[in-house]
Amino acid sequence: NAGVTQTPKFQVLKTGQSMTLQCAQDMNHNSMYWYRQDPGMGLRLIYYSASEGTTDKGEVPNGYNVSRLNKREFSLRLESAAPSQTSVYFCASTTGTLFETQYFGPGTRLLVL
Amino acid sequence: AQSVTQLDSQVPVFEEAPVELRCNYSSSVSVYLFWYVQYPNQGLQLLLKYLSGSTLVESINGFEAEFNKSQTSFHLRKPSVHISDTAEYFCAVRKVDDYKLSFGAGTTVTVRA
């Protein structure tokens, strides 16, 4: 099992450009999450998908959109990147049962100039 | 909403010395508690968790944490650290009826020989 995979690993964008961060899991998990990690702030939830076909906003959704393409894949889109979106982005997944822990991908480093 | 406070942002420690990382939370409802570890340039991995039962929980690599409900704390300890324990450690909280995690800001542990 590869677990949770994310692409790309690193990306540089100019302000105003768009891009999609990809996430896939091969653990047959129901729930998937997107976080951003900024120094001194821990991880903050951007969006999550409790199950295939549903998505909900997290703590910091502004400037982002998501798509739960199927059970395996959950993508995060920046329509018009801003320097404030420079961050490390992590995808995570879980079975969705209340006792299950989250499994994280390796992260995507995004730099917006 | 629950919040998580990690009281130390940086903890330098010598090899084979003990270490304690402090975590306090606030919540109006019952919660589950987690410690995650992030090694350099990697995603987060679960270190240990408290769901119910014994308030002292242990990990396979010698860490332990104790849930103290009256002090709303979940401090992490290791009696003797190794160089390989150098990492960032995150405390996280989840309401018992929710799937979303709230993370603390993180504590960077640097172990020196």
Rounded CA separation A85/A23 (Å): 18
Tens digit of pLDDT for each residue in B35-50?
Answer: 999 998 888 999 999 9
Residues with Cβ within 8 Å of B54's Cβ and at least 6 positions away in sequence, in order, are: none
Contact B46 A101 (CB under 8 A): yes
Q: What is the mean pLDDT of each run of 10 residues along chain B (113 residues)?
A: 87 97 91 92 90 87 93 96 96 86 94 96
Query: With contacts defined as CB-CB under 8 Å, which chain A residues touch B35?
Result: none
**Cβ-nearest to A42 among B34, B90, B100:** B90
Tens digit of pLDDT for each residue in A75-94?
Answer: 999 999 999 999 999 999 98
Q: H/E/C letters for each residue in B58-93?
A: ECCCCCEEEEECCCCEEEEEECCCCHHHCEEEEEEE
By CB atoms closer than 10 A (0-12, 13-18, 19+), residue B52 is: exposed
Tell me if A41 sits within 8 A of A86, measured CB to CB: no
Tokens 């129901």: give the residue: A30
Query: With contacts defined as CB-CB under 8 Å, which chain A residues touch B105?
Result: 40-42
Distance from CA of A56 to the nearest CA of B (A): 11
Residues with Cβ within 8 Å of B60's Cβ and at least 6 positions away in sequence, in order, are: none
